[in-house]
Amino acid sequence: MTLSLTLSLLSACDLSGAPVSPVDSDTLEVVDPAEFEPAGTDLERFDFTARAEVADAVFVGEVERIDYRQSSPDSRGGTLPFTFVTWRAERAWKGVAPGQRVTARFVGGVTPEGYASVVSELPLFQEGDRDVIFLDQNGLAGCPLLGCAAGRLRLIDGRVYDDEGGSLVADEAGEVVVGGWRNLPEVNVVTVGTVLVDRRVDQDGPGEGADGMPERAFTGLLDSRLVNLRSAPTTRSVNPDAPFVVRFLDREPSR
């Protein structure tokens, strides 16, 4: 709607719709918002205490084994691919004992034809990965991590990253945030069965190349914050060799 008022800029503007020249008193530019936004003020801080309270288990572990399995045929003969990931816990804060092996079941894996079945929300694992795991509803949820990919942190070369290669750093208040990104082959290149999943992530810009905080500092932080948590090894582990049926396959796939 056209305003019926006089603007201070109006005399210099052409309201006919034809191209006009910029007004002298105005400036027009395209900039990086970081130049007028205080850096880092909107970064999401990790609340590990709250996460640990909700999670069934919290531990550092190395992926010892990956098993790809199909669910047993349901009443209509349908199966789904799943990935079973087994960690050996190195340190534990909840639900797992150090040295204990924990196997978790994820949707996606390898199809009967040998294809990699990749699910958009789920992390991918490789034997030898070292992770900080916040386990949640193992054997029940399609992604048995708290917040799915957010429930897995990576320990790579003694530094801490999120599942996408985001570098975990401490902000000015000592809280943990993602302060940058690294293109890490450990993150971007994963073999699913015999299929190489090789991502090309273009993460140029500020923060690129930033290392995550040292693992020791990070686990020390968890030591200080995840106190008084239930430490008994009560976490449910799943058996990759036990047949299982995905119950939803028995129902009509639409309402």
Partner 1 sequence: MHALRRIAALAFAGLALAPVASAYNIGTAKWASSPKLLIYPSDVTDNAKEWAVLQSVATRLQQNSSTIGFSVGVDDADGVWTSNGENEILYTDSATWLCGSDACCWTSATTTQIVEADVFFNNVDMWETSYAKTDSWAYGGMKRPMAATAMHEFGHALGLGHVSNLYNIMGGDHTFLNTNGNTYSVRLGEDASSGLRALYGSTTGGYEDVTVSHFMYDSFSGEYSTHKRVPVYDSSGGVAANAGTALEPVYKLTKGGRFYFVATLENNGAKSQSPGLRVYLSTDSTITTADTLLTSTSLTLTPDSPYAYVYTGTLSSSLTSGATYYLGVVLDPTNAIAEVDENNNAAYVSAIRIN
Contacts of partner 1 in 126-165 (CB under 8 A): 141-143, 147-150, 162-164
Q: Which stretch binds partner 1 (CB under 8 A): 2-10, 51-59, 60-68, 90-98?
A: 2-10
User: Which residue carries 């027009």 as its tokens?
Assistant: 28
Q: Which stretch binds partner 1 (CB under 8 A): 86-94, 168-176, 178-186, 215-223?
A: 178-186
List, as one string, the DSSP characters of 134-174.
EE-STTTSSS-BTTGGGGEEEEETTEEEETTSEEEEE-TTS
Residues 6 or more apart from 136 whose CB is under 8 A from it? 54, 55, 56, 144, 145, 146, 151
User: What is the smallest separation between the CB atom of 92 and partner 1, expressed in angstroms?
Assistant: 23
Residue 171 contacts partner 1 per CB under 8 A: no
Residues 7-36 that bind partner 1 (CB under 8 A): 7-10, 12-15, 17, 19-23, 25-34, 36
Nearer Cβ to partner 1 (112/174): 112
Nearer Cβ to partner 1 (2/228): 2
Residue 244 contacts partner 1 per CB under 8 A: no
Largest alpha-carbon pair distance within the chain?
Answer: 80
Encoded tokens for 130 = 């070292």
Distance, in Å, from the CA atom of 34 to the CA atom of 181, rounded to the nearest integer, reads 16
Nearer Cβ to partner 1 (100/126): 126
Residue 54 contacts partner 1 per CB under 8 A: no
Distance, in Å, from the CA atom of 141 to the CA atom of 94, rounded to the nearest integer, reads 19
Distance, in Å, from the CA atom of 195 to the CA atom of 83, rounded to the nearest integer, reads 14
Residues 6 or more apart from 21 whose CB is under 8 A from it? 12
User: What is the smallest separation between the CB atom of 64 and partner 1, expressed in angstroms?
Assistant: 25
User: What is the smallest separation between the CB atom of 233 and partner 1, expressed in angstroms?
Assistant: 25
For residues 69 to 98, the per-residue mask of contacts with partner 1, x marking binding by CB under 8 A and - elsewhere, is -------x-x-xx-----------------
Residues 185-214 that bind partner 1 (CB under 8 A): 195-207
Residue 108 contacts partner 1 per CB under 8 A: yes
123-150 residues labelled b (16+ CB within 10 A) or e (exposed): bbbeeebbbbbbbbebeeebbbbbebeb
Residue 115 contacts partner 1 per CB under 8 A: yes
First to last CA, the chain: 46
